[in-house]
Amino acid sequence: MTALTTEEQYKLITKDLQEVLNGQIIKNVLENENRPLKIYWGTAPTGKPHCGYFVPMIKLAHFLKAGCEVKVLLADLHAFLDNMKAPLEVVQYRAKYYEFVVKSILKSINVPIEKLKFVVGSSYQQNGDYIMDLFKLSNVVSQNDAKRAGADVVKQVANPLLSGLIYPLMQAIDEEHLDVDAQFGGVDQRKIFVLAEENLPSIGYKKRAHLMNRMVPGLGQGGKMSASDPNSKIDVLEDPKVVKKKINSAFCAPGNITDNGLISFIENVIQPIQELKTGIENSFELNINRPEKFGGPILYKSIEDLKNDFKDEKLSPPDLKIGVADKINELLEPIRKEYESSKEFQVAQEQGYPPEKPKEKKVKKVKKIGTKYAGNKDASPQPEIIADAKKEAEISEKAETVDETTNKLNDVKIE
């Protein structure tokens, strides 16, 4: 393969990103230092990875193709700090599960992973130098700045834990201890990236570049695809029938191409993956197996054609859903096969995500019937006492009825 020029490398590194901070740092490494860019992508192993993970995987493919030295941080301690989403006793299995998923996704889209390096956060985040840097940074970052930085990443609760303030500080320090020139993540990480840029120089470390990809919309109306919302996502090991069911229930208004998670998935996942597989710029193909009574199968070779047909309502939501569901199942099939053939992969999933125990129903306490023996708490009313009380109530009720009838008769005027 012909070596890329520095301009081609930079173009590939920043391809399809939503935002780049300090791009000049990347250019300086490529043009003046004349060496591979060192970059890392971190992921906290909390909920199961979903189809939205294809987006960062596509970028990892771009980085590797551009000759970058790429590290994947399996941030196990971050997962624990994020409002205890992952208990320490299972987080190591989740980290292993994430590693299997990342590798299988990359292999499924024909990306060589020999040069990809995996690092588990706890392997270095507990050493003395790292902890000392955490103390130093906590001495220059205010509580409000730390809280603001983690607002879009750390789970927000009414009474936040101190761990939510430590999380963004650690993510900033990781850049130095992983020895990188740039950090890559979703645009939801932006506030943490800015915190790192503004504060790392205060403790003697250089400023890094930051690369941000778009967030894939969920299957509902608005919001990103999230591991914490099962209805908004499709897990990478989801059963084919479940995939079709979820896609069929996805929000997809006729003619709407702007607020449409399915079209966004086509643009951000399906098309870039086809481009990676074929090596042809802007290559695209989506077959929609439409029933004959609605016009029969249709093949799109241009995203613009597909969007225009949907906008003009020549392509209906049910037909679009058929094409997307089939394509997702096609993308997930090699990942499912790898899972089924790997006992270690299965153990990581089973131990990292054990079935939740059913919650015990609260048994309502039976209220004791009162007793006329007020001073004796242990005394329970005798059957004859209960019977007498019922009789007294009945007699009283009858007496009230008689009195009421008498009063009404007395009120009647005889003409």
> Amino acid letter at 341?
S
Contact status, residue 336 vs residue 81, Cβ threshold 8 Å = no
Residue 409 has pLDDT above 50, yes or no: no
- Residue-wise pLDDT for 299-338, tens only, equals 999 999 999 999 999 999 999 999 999 999 999 999 999 9
pTM reported for the whole predicted model: 0.81
Angle subtended by helix axes 54-65 and 6-13, to nearest 10: 170
Asked, for residue 153, whether it belongs to a domain, the answer is: yes
Asked, for residue 80, whether it belongs to a domain, the answer is: yes
Q: Pick from 113, 115, 110, 114: which is nearest to 275 by CA?
A: 110
Claim to verify: residue 247 and residue 316 sit in the same structural domain: yes
Asked, for residue 342, whether it belongs to a domain, the answer is: yes
Asked, for residue 359, whether it belongs to a domain, the answer is: no
Q: What are phi and psi of 37, to 5 degrees?
A: -70, 135
Claim to verify: residue 282 and residue 159 sit in the same structural domain: no
Residue 196 has pLDDT above 60, yes or no: yes
How many domains, the chain? 3
Contacting residues for 67 by C-beta, under 8 A, at least 6 apart: 4, 9, 36, 37
Claim to verify: residue 79 and residue 140 sit in the same structural domain: yes
Backbone Cα Rg of the chain: 31
369-401 residues labelled b (16+ CB within 10 A) or e (exposed): eebeeeeeeeeeeeeeeeeeeeeeeeeeeeeee
On the 0-12 / 13-18 / 19+ scale of CB atoms within 10 A, 408 is exposed
Claim to verify: residue 127 and residue 250 sit in the same structural domain: no
Taken in order 57, 34, 119, 111, is the CA torsion positive or negative? positive
Whole domain around residue 16: which residue ranges? Answer: 6-213
- Residue-wise pLDDT for 110-149, tens only, equals 888 888 999 999 999 999 999 999 999 999 999 999 999 9
Claim to verify: residue 344 and residue 368 sit in the same structural domain: no
Mean per-residue pLDDT, 222-249: 82
Claim to verify: residue 386 and residue 278 sit in the same structural domain: no
Residue 410 has pLDDT above 50, yes or no: no
CATH code for position 209: 3.40.50.620
